[in-house]
């Protein structure tokens, strides 16, 4: 049975793959697997940039749905299906799977006998759970809460495990920082989204005691268009090329995560942890489980956030201890190993 690897995000349509899925597809091909990616035609140029030699030896293949004026999961899945049924693969990667792809999966199972491995990074909708009920689908969720939604529904394995596919890029700074340099707090992510909490972090930073705030900076990365509010000590950044993020983080001192329950994993936090940076984070499950070994502080109100920022701004030794604990935690739990994934989830088939 050929395994089908699915990344489940019901809020998105079949439009392509993110950084993680691109790395995953490349590394699966490097492991010797015949990998095919299903995507909408407009992603062909990006795939060719991401995969030199696309379709050649040691590189993934791609099957595209036509570029349709109306982009919906159901329409795209039916459009790409003929190209999939006529092709052989060891692993088929379909990203951003919504309920509209259920007919496609039914056809693949009937016509090809595929086995499904689901990477779940969003809570499933009821229709999708009904479709999966009793099937031998394996589920690898990015946190325990999402994993719980599949337990007792699917007959396959359900675990909570995930990580950074290029963890070796994120290293602590090689030289100690100048003690006289400002303490750099950083938020990293799509900060245009209100649920990321950037406005609250701005207010908490502004409420710090003047002598501590004067020795601190708050870096907000990234915005599609930085708001340009001109607040003292607050530096807004547009999105950086992905290759520049590791170096940027090595200049930072404390990661701040203020997301609400929309956050399901937070790669940015793990990148900061791997860089040896402590975290100040809101009290949601995906953050709390990452600082439970001493790598950060949890806040539950804006005033607690201010107090935590003040405490870390004035205590470099504590920052160093927590940063070391954060890196140990990330190395133990959140480093992705594609070969290990393939051996555990794909090759037994």
Can you tell me the distance from the alpha carbon of 226 to that of 176, in angstroms, rounded to the nearest whole number?
A: 30
Q: Which tokens is 137 given?
A: 């689908």
Structure tokens at 24: 């995953």
On the question of a common fold for 3-163+335-346 and 168-333, the answer reads: yes
Task: Find out whether 15 and 67 touch, Cβ atoms under 8 Å.
Answer: no
Sheet of 234-238: strand order equals 234-238, 216-223, 183-188, 254-257, 279-282, 296-299
Grouping H, G, I as helix, E, B as strand and the rest as coil, residue 335 is: strand
SS3 104: helix
Per-residue pLDDT, 74: 62
Euclidean distance between CA atoms 10 and 35, whole angstroms: 23
Q: Is 282 helix (H, G, I), strand (E, B) or coil?
A: strand
- In the chain, the DSSP E strands lie at 3-8, 35-40, 61-65, 91-97, 115-120, 138-141, 158-160, 183-188, 216-223, 234-238, 254-257, 279-282, 296-299
- Rounded distance between C-alpha atoms, residue 197 and residue 188, angstroms: 11
Contact 54, 135 (CB under 8 A): no
Count the Cβ atoms, other than its own, within 10 Å of residue 178: 7
Short-list 262, 266, 263, CA closest to 279: 266
What pLDDT is stored for residue 73 in this prediction?
Answer: 59
Residue 75: predicted pLDDT = 65
Gyration radius of the chain's alpha carbons: 22
**CATH class name, domain 168-333:** alpha beta
Q: Are 298 and 283 in contact (CB under 8 A)?
A: yes
How far is it, in rounded angstroms, from Cα 83 to Cα 159? 32
Per-residue pLDDT, 95: 61
User: What does the pLDDT read at residue 9?
Assistant: 34
Residue ranges per structural domain of the chain? 3-163+335-346, 168-333
Check: CB of residue 267 under 8 Å from CB of residue 278.
no
Check: CATH 3.40.50 for 3-163+335-346?
Answer: yes
Per-residue pLDDT tens digits of the chain, which is 349 residues long: 344 444 433 322 223 335 677 778 888 888 888 888 877 777 777 778 777 788 777 788 888 776 655 556 566 677 777 777 777 778 877 765 556 667 777 777 776 667 778 888 888 888 888 888 998 888 888 888 889 999 999 999 999 888 887 899 999 999 888 888 999 999 999 999 999 999 999 999 999 999 999 999 999 998 888 888 889 999 999 998 888 999 999 999 999 999 999 998 899 999 999 999 999 999 999 999 999 999 999 999 999 999 999 999 999 999 999 999 999 999 999 998 888 888 888 776 4
Do 173 and 250 contact (CB within 8 A), yes or no?
yes
């Amino acid at each position: 049975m050929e395994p089908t690897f699915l990344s489940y995000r019901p809020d998105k349509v079949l439009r392509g793959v993110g950084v993680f899925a691109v790395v995953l597809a490349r590394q699966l091909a490097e492991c010797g697997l015949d990998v095919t990616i299903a995507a909408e035609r407009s992603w062909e140029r990006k795939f060719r940039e991401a995969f030199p030699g696309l379709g050649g030896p040691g590189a993934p293949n791609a099957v595209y749905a036509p570029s349709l004026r109306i982009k919906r999961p159901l329409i795209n899945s039916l459009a790409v299906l003929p190209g999939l049924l006529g092709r052989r693969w060891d692993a088929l990667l379909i990203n951003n799977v919504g309920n509209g792809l259920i007919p496609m999966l039914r056809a693949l199972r009937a016509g090809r006998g595929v086995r499904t491995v689901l990477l779940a990074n969003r809570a499933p909708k009821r229709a999708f759970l009904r479709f999966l009920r009793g099937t031998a689908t394996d589920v690898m969720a990015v946190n325990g809460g999402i994993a719980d939604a599949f337990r007792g529904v699917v007959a396959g394995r359900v675990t909570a495990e995930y990580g950074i596919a290029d963890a070796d890029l994120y290293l602590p700074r090689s030289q100690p920082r100048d003690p006289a340099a400002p303490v750099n707090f950083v938020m990293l992510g799509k900060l245009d989204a209100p649920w990321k909490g950037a406005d609250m972090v701005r207010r908490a930073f502004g409420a710090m005691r003047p002598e501590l705030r004067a020795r601190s900076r708050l870096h907000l990365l990234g915005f599609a268009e930085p708001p340009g509010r001109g607040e003292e000590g607050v530096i807004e950044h547009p999105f950086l090329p992905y290759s520049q993020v590791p170096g940027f983080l090595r200049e930072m001192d404390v990661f701040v995560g203020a997301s609400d329950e929309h956050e399901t994993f937070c790669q940015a936090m793990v990148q900061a942890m791997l860089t040896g940076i402590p975290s100040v984070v809101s009290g949601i499950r995906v953050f709390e489980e990452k600082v439970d070994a001493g790598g950060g502080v949890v806040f539950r109100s804006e005033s607690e956030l201010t107090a935590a920022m003040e405490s870390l701004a004035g205590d470099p030794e504590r920052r160093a201890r927590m940063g070391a604990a954060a890196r140990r935690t990330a190395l133990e739990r959140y480093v992705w190993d594609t070969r290990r994934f393939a051996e555990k989830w794909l090759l037994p088939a």
